[in-house]
Amino acid sequence: MKLSTRGRYGLRAMFELARHYGEGPLSIKNIARRQNISEHYLEQLIAALKKKGLVRSIRGSQGGYILSRKPGDIKVGDIIRALEGPIAPVECVRDNDSETCSRTDICVARTVWKKVKDSIIEVLDTTTLEDMCNEEEKIRKEKERFMYYI
């Protein structure tokens, strides 16, 4: 049950954009270098993010990408969904409708997967890019304090 690089790289790229929110566009080359991701590959990921309206592009020289809304309004879940499709450990719990499986035994497994799905979504949809920025700041300060005492 691994997340592919799409989701991982994508989140890192979006985090990079969040860190520089309000400072003008960041180019793919720039993001790719900072996060150590293949440029062309990242291009495709960002295209998917753009399609879902999470980023806006500015074309031409000195162009690049910016978040389409403030970091606090972008959930990690939005990013993962944009890049990996619906969040669901198995197909049969993808949609939230009440379709029941034909066989009870399968349904019981389904109950487990449903719980897993809900718990994943709970985490991803209660964490925003802003939270991640705050977290980073916290870590930075802790490190600083640590250095002080050396």
Partner DNA sequence: GCTAATTCCTACTATATTTCTCGGCCTTTA
Partner DNA sequence: TAAAGGCCGAGAAATATAGTAGGAATTAGC
Interface residue list for a copy of itself (CB under 8 A):
1-4, 7-8, 11-12, 15-16, 19, 34-35, 76, 80, 84, 87-91, 104-109, 111-113, 115-116, 119-120, 122-124, 127, 132, 135-136, 139-140
Which string of DSSP letters, residue by residue, matches 41-68? HHHHHHHHHHHTTSEEEE-STT-EEEES
Q: x/- contact string, 63-102, with DNA (CB under 7 A)? A: xxx-------------------------------------
Distance CA(26)–CA(87), nearest Å, equals: 28
Q: Which does 16 bind (CB under 5 to 8 A by kind): DNA, a copy of itself, none?
A: a copy of itself
In three-state secondary structure terms, 75 is strand
Q: Are 59 and 96 in contact (CB under 8 A)?
A: no
Residue 53 or 138: which CB sits closer to DNA? 53
The amino acid present at 55, given as its one-letter code, is: V
Q: Are 64 and 57 in contact (CB under 8 A)?
A: yes
Interacting residue ranges for DNA, rule: CB under 7 A = 2, 4-6, 9, 25, 27-30, 37-38, 40-41, 43-44, 46-47, 50, 57-65
